[in-house]
Amino acid sequence: MTLAALAAAGSFIAVPALAPAKMRHDTSKMADNCAKAHSAGFAVAGTLVSVTADDPATAASEATVTLELTAANRHARKSGDIADQDAAKPGVQPKGFVFTVPAGDAYVLRLRGYEGTDTPSVGDKVHVRGRIAVTKPRCAAPGTSVADRYGAIDVRRVTIGDRDAD
């Protein structure tokens, strides 16, 4: 009887070894994922340096907004569009960099807190939001830098908030 029990116990131990091997990843799905266009959020904030209004008589947008940065999100810092302002600290330090929203980019301009004939002035608070094309590290060519994996910025919204006393 003990010999039969040992044989039965041995068969249970051997059964997991007969289980099918772990399935490998399908590389065609990974290639399809790399073929898709990916984008990430782009956000910077700062104080207004200058603003140029759009001419409604023309089809193209001539509006530009220039700001001195106080903050930038991760994708904005890594995109290569912002120069490091403090090389002594690790990473890109955006505070103090002068950033200009390029002309020709169609975006929504929101003015917050302005009353009557008040217009944006130097020192007002500015937020720039948009999207930026990005290539995933596994989809980029070997040796590609992080900044080279980012494409052009598509600014979608610029908000200027009044900071001076009316």
pLDDT tens-digit profile of 6-20? 666 665 555 555 555
Instruction: Establish if 17 belongs to a structural domain.
Output: no
| Structural domain total, the chain | 1
User: What pLDDT, on a 0 to 100 scale, did the predictor assign at position 46?
Assistant: 96
User: What pLDDT, on a 0 to 100 scale, did the predictor assign at position 2?
Assistant: 72
Q: Give yes or no for residue 147 having a pLDDT over 60.
A: yes
From the list 65, 127, 147, the residue with the least C-alpha distance to 98 is: 65
Q: Give yes or no for residue 21 having a pLDDT over 90.
A: no
From the list 123, 135, 132, 129, the residue with the least C-alpha distance to 161 is: 123
**Whole-prediction pTM:** 0.74
Instruction: Establish if 83 belongs to a structural domain.
Output: yes
User: What pLDDT, on a 0 to 100 scale, did the predictor assign at position 30?
Assistant: 61
User: What pLDDT, on a 0 to 100 scale, did the predictor assign at position 61?
Assistant: 77
Instruction: Establish if 154 belongs to a structural domain.
Output: yes
Residue 70 contacts residue 117 (beta carbons within 8 Å) = no
Instruction: Establish if 52 belongs to a structural domain.
Output: yes
Q: Give yes or no for residue 78 having a pLDDT over 80.
A: yes
Q: Detail the DSSP E strand segments found in 18-163.
A: 39-52, 64-72, 98-101, 108-112, 125-134, 150-161
User: What pLDDT, on a 0 to 100 scale, did the predictor assign at position 10?
Assistant: 61
Per residue in 102-144, pLDDT (tens digit) is: 877 788 889 898 888 888 889 999 999 999 999 988 888 898 9
User: What pLDDT, on a 0 to 100 scale, did the predictor assign at position 132?
Assistant: 94
Residue 112 belongs to what domain range?
30-161
Instruction: Establish if 23 belongs to a structural domain.
Output: no
**Residue whose structure tokens are 């930026």:** 132
Q: In what order do the strands lie in the sheet with 108-112?
A: 98-101, 64-72, 39-52, 125-134, 150-161, 108-112
Instruction: Establish if 7 belongs to a structural domain.
Output: no
Instruction: Establish if 10 belongs to a structural domain.
Output: no
Instruction: Establish if 21 belongs to a structural domain.
Output: no
User: What pLDDT, on a 0 to 100 scale, did the predictor assign at position 18?
Assistant: 52
